[in-house]
Chain A
Amino acid sequence: MADAAVATASDRAASRPRYGSMSRDRRWALRWSYFFLILFAIFFLTPPIYMFITSLKTSAEISAESNPWWVYNPTLSNYIELLTQNTYLTFFRNSAIVSVITVVITMTISVIAAFALARMRFWGSATLATGVFLTYLIPETLLFIPLFKMFAWVNETFGIQLMNNWWTMLILYPTLTVPFATWIMIGYFASIPKELDEAALIDGATWMQTLTKIFIPVALPGIIAATIFTFTVSWAQFLYPLAFTTSTTELVLPVGIITTLIKGDVFNWGQIMTGALLGAAPPLIIYAFLMDYYIAGLTAGATKG
């Protein structure tokens, strides 16, 4: 009897892979990371799931006292109404144009600026690089009142009305995105070995050719990271458009949704949720495609520079 018990115990031990203390530690680390990852996933995915569920409900069902996590009569009416509504499409178009052009402006300025700050040693370049980062630290909430004054001055002096125009965002957004994108790019360029531009210099490349033929291709992950960042910031920007635009033709998506779908104290929840969900789609799609580059770019920027 005792023999049999010993045999089964050793059989069991043999059939199981043996773990050393290292792998036992690893297993626990893995369990804890799964625990927290699942916790965070639930925490962060609940709002979009709730948005999705609500977007499939009619106004009547939303206000009814039924289970908020279940759709009894699913309908696409919110989607159809929103997508056939001219105002929503205008917001979407404004947001897209503003974001894309902001990305182009930001990347043009910040790539060239970062190259100069990272590679061309000139008087005050280090101070300038720090200065660039400091401007990023000033919150936009502090800036929009002085900006009002500046816009008023521009209007008085040059007769150009910057208020209530979607294209004014093309001036405002880069003030938020250029410093950070430049900072990412400085870090990325700084991680490229110095010999690479020296080799290019000896090969006969001008500074501009070194930038376009060597630095930009080599730093592509960093550039993509900065592009995604810029796009996300401009797409989600709320305060500036809220403060500086009022007409429905000039609004961008985030502001458009709350100004047109909330009338007084009437909240059109179904359409608000649908609009927000559709609005969140473009950054999501871009992230999904470029995620690997984004991570590579951010970590490179984080360790060097």
Chain B
Amino acid sequence: MAQVTLRKVVKKYDEVLAVRGIDLDIVDKEFIVLVGPSGCGKSTTLRMIAGLEEISDGDIAIGGDIVNDVPPKDRDIAMVFQNYALYPHMNVYENMSFGLKLKRTPKDEIERRVKQAAQILDITELLDRKPKQLSGGQRQRVAMGRAIVRDPKVFLFDEPLSNLDAKLRVQMRTEIKKVHQKVRTTTVYVTHDQVEAMTLADRVVVMNAGLIEQVGAPNDLYHSPATKFVAGFIGSPAMNFLPCQLEQAAGALRVRLSDKLSFPVPSDRTARYTSHAGKSGLVLGLRPEHIAETRPHVEPNQHDFDMAIDVVEPMGMETLVYFTINGTEVCGRVNPNAGAADGKPMKLRADLSNMHLIDDASGKVL
């Protein structure tokens, strides 16, 4: 069993708080991704789990044992670094077996494990090459191989794909997922790329300014973000945030975006939102895919409106349209054949059943 538990973990550099008291329970064999903008404390958290950074306060437990003062080598973890950190003077085999040799593992056992890991990662023919003779993707595999042969309780990945080009990154992303399916080991993976986070994770941990904003399955984060930060961070293009008012008229709630534009709130949300009617500082969150071109068939909670398009960005399988409501730029995703054109008016349709109402002051999704 290799669950990882963080309790009120704090990291202070001199007077700067990098991590401000986080709680996290990672269950056995789970793939957890820590994601957030640079400087949010995600790498620091990973390094604290690894034991490369001392924790200033709180507790970290691996497999039930508190490891606050345990050196990295005794935590039974393996780490893959952003720049691979392969030993340049050793060949692939030596790189992968270094940790086992230090543990005085028998030679034939080392050989068996290295061969097995090399097979999983498809690097068998590279075993006697030096790191500088390998491509970026191959180095990344070797770095993973070095982690796998140790058969640790926890894998730690620190932005392992950041140094690869876009195409290889997608390929290696799939590779990492496959490896995790073959070698089911508790994994903590740090990235600033929300796509990587969404595609790899069993659960995503979104961090911001040294705190955890939300923990959840990728789809839960996407569809029911807890805060404005998560709503804006997950998803590309990002969610639209429109300053709005909540009006109550004749027993029905409406979100008003401008003098001319307002939409009725879906009936199943009315009870939840009623108490916020008339309040200031509210923001409507609506993802670009919930603003599309109009269609003949009308679903409940979908409402048509006319808008002059500012800019059109054809993406191939879809076209992004940008327009302005009350001074705020809004993005919508329409069918490439819907006839969107720069500067032309267009009939669009908003799907309010996926709306989010956000209190701008607290940043909470209501």
> A interface vs B, CB < 8 Å?
193, 195-196, 198-205, 209, 213-214, 217-218, 220
Contact = CB atoms under 8 A, between A and B. Distances in A.
B176 to A, nearest CB: 18
B50 A202 contact: yes
Nearest to B82: A195
B104 to A, nearest CB: 10
A195 B83 contact: yes
B83 A193 contact: yes
A48 to B, nearest CB: 38
Contacts of A202: 50-52, 72-73, 77-79, 99
Question: Considering residues B50, B87, B103, which has the most beta carbons from chain A within 10 angstroms of its beta carbon?
Answer: B87
B85 A203 contact: no
Question: Considering residues B78, B98, B146, which has the most beta carbons from chain A within 10 angstroms of its beta carbon?
Answer: B98
A8 B180 CA distance: 74
Contacts of B103: 204
B102 A198 contact: no
A218 B98 contact: no
Question: Considering residues A195, A199, A201, which has the most beta carbons from chain B within 10 angstroms of its beta carbon?
Answer: A199
B43 to A, nearest CB: 12
A273 B78 CA distance: 63
Interface string B147-190: 00010000000000000000000000000000000000000000
B85 A193 contact: yes
B319 to A, nearest CB: 43
9 tightest Cβ-Cβ pairs between the two chains A and B = A203-B99, A195-B85, A204-B73, A199-B85, A217-B89, A195-B81, A204-B102, A202-B72, A201-B72
A200 B150 CA distance: 13
Contact of B88 (A201, A203, A218): A218
Given A201-B73, A205-B73, 9 more contacts: A193-B83, A195-B82, A195-B85, A200-B87, A202-B52, A203-B99, A204-B103, A205-B102, A218-B88
Interface of B: 50-52, 71-73, 77-79, 81-83, 85, 87-89, 98-99, 102-103, 146, 150
Question: Considering residues B50, B78, B85, B88, which has the most beta carbons from chain A within 10 angstroms of its beta carbon?
Answer: B85
B181 to A, nearest CB: 24
16 contacts: A195-B81, A196-B87, A198-B72, A198-B81, A198-B85, A200-B87, A201-B71, A202-B99, A203-B73, A203-B98, A203-B99, A203-B102, A204-B73, A204-B99, A213-B98, A218-B87
Contacts of B50: 198, 202
Contacts, number: 55
Contacts of A204: 73, 99, 102-103
A234 B55 CA distance: 48
B236 to A, nearest CB: 29
Nearest to B78: A202
B152 to A, nearest CB: 9
Given A195-B81, A198-B52, A205-B102, A214 B87 contact: yes
A207 to B, nearest CB: 11
A201 B74 CA distance: 10
A110 B83 CA distance: 29
A205 B73 CA distance: 7
Nearest to A219: B89
A58 B247 CA distance: 116
A26 to B, nearest CB: 30
A201 B99 CA distance: 9
A199 B98 CA distance: 10
A158 B71 CA distance: 45
A200 B77 CA distance: 12
B67 to A, nearest CB: 13
A242 B54 CA distance: 54
A214 B99 CA distance: 12
A25 B25 CA distance: 66
B175 to A, nearest CB: 20
A219 to B, nearest CB: 10
A215 to B, nearest CB: 10
A213 B146 CA distance: 16
B54 to A, nearest CB: 11
A218 B73 contact: no
A209 B79 contact: no
A195 to B, nearest CB: 4
A105 to B, nearest CB: 26
A203 to B, nearest CB: 4
Contacts of B71: 201
A209 B103 CA distance: 12
A124 to B, nearest CB: 17
Question: Considering residues A200, A203, A213, A220, which has the most beta carbons from chain B within 10 angstroms of its beta carbon?
Answer: A203
